[in-house]
Amino acid sequence: MILAVPLEQTTTGIPGTRLGPDRIRQFSENAESYSPYFKKDLADCSISDAGNLEFDYLPTINEKLALIQKKVSDCLTQKAKPLLVGGEHTLTLAAVRAMISKYPDLALLQLDAHADLRDVGESGSKTAHDTVIKRVSEILKPDSIIQTGIRCMSREESALSEALTMDITDIEGIRKKLAKRPVWLTLDLDILDPSIMPAVGTPEPMGASYREVIDLLVGLKGINFVGADIVEFNPLAADFAAPAVTAANLVREACCLLVWSAHGLQ
């Protein structure tokens, strides 16, 4: 089940993540349902679009996260796998809070340019896009997070991130760490090099190629992915078609990963 989450509350880079889900949906309408990488067609399975979450009447980040958590829990009640399309990265915290009740041994695979391990974000909040993985680490069991693509962090974050980081090309090593565990995938689009994905609020040079991301996702077929999010798409940062097409295609590939994971679509 696809949940569009136009969250934008703690953004410190270029604003505009609230517009990301609608822009991705617009370009998804013309995208092929067949993945040449997974060699699967989404037309062969049932995937629903639950529409956009409405945040206008919720002033605080905690209220917004509570709504996201409830919607993800509702998704689990319906025996569906959630795919959240954001929206700023803070939404991952709400998703993990919902998932942990069903999957106490949950692991998280983070594809990202940034460690997001600050204790207090640049906005001054402990609940923010740049603290989200730090907050998630306080919920999950030890040794439950893998980071890849990380190339921007504070000194505070570096010691924490070093123990979590694996190279994006070490697919077999990542598989071994995730084997036999339920896994949540969080894919921040700024993992990609800005030449490929300029439509993010905080781009970082020397990013991953599209091929490297696809090779990793396809290489993790058979791992028990129970949900995912794709976050930080920002059409105001680069308002032309190519980045939106790239993001829409990655939504398709994430759907394939969830549908044809170890236990399939529940």
Q: Answer yes or no: is pLDDT of 206 > 50.
A: yes
142 in a structural domain: yes
Q: Which domain, by its residues, includes 7?
A: 2-259
82-106: pLDDT as tens digits: 999 999 999 999 999 999 999 999 9
264 in a structural domain: no
pLDDT band at 263 (very low <50, low <70, confident <90, very high): low
Better pLDDT: 54 or 46: 54
Residue 164 to residue 256: CA distance in whole angstroms: 26
Average pLDDT, the chain: 96
Q: Answer yes or no: is pLDDT of 264 > 70.
A: no
pLDDT value for 153: 97
User: What contacts 52, CB < 8 A, 6 or more positions away?
Assistant: 4, 5, 6, 21, 22
**What global pTM score does this model have?**
0.96
116-148: pLDDT as tens digits: 999 999 999 999 999 999 999 999 999 999 999
- CATH number of the domain enclosing 138: 3.40.800.10
Q: Answer yes or no: is pLDDT of 72 > 70.
A: yes
265 in a structural domain: no
19 in a structural domain: yes
Tally the domains of the chain: 1
Alpha helices in the chain (DSSP H): 20-28, 61-77, 91-99, 132-137, 155-162, 171-178, 210-219, 241-259
pLDDT value for 155: 94
Q: What is the CA radius of gyration of the chain?
A: 16
Closest CA to 113 of 191, 170, 49, 167: 191
Q: Answer yes or no: is pLDDT of 266 > 50.
A: no
266 in a structural domain: no
Residue 116 to residue 152: CA distance in whole angstroms: 9
Residues forming a β-bridge with 113: none
6-37: pLDDT as tens digits: 999 999 889 999 999 999 999 999 999 999 99
188 in a structural domain: yes
Mean pLDDT confidence for 157-169: 95
208-241: pLDDT as tens digits: 999 999 999 999 999 999 999 999 999 999 989 9
Closest CA to 4 of 187, 229, 185: 229
pLDDT value for 265: 41
Residue 14 to residue 217: CA distance in whole angstroms: 28
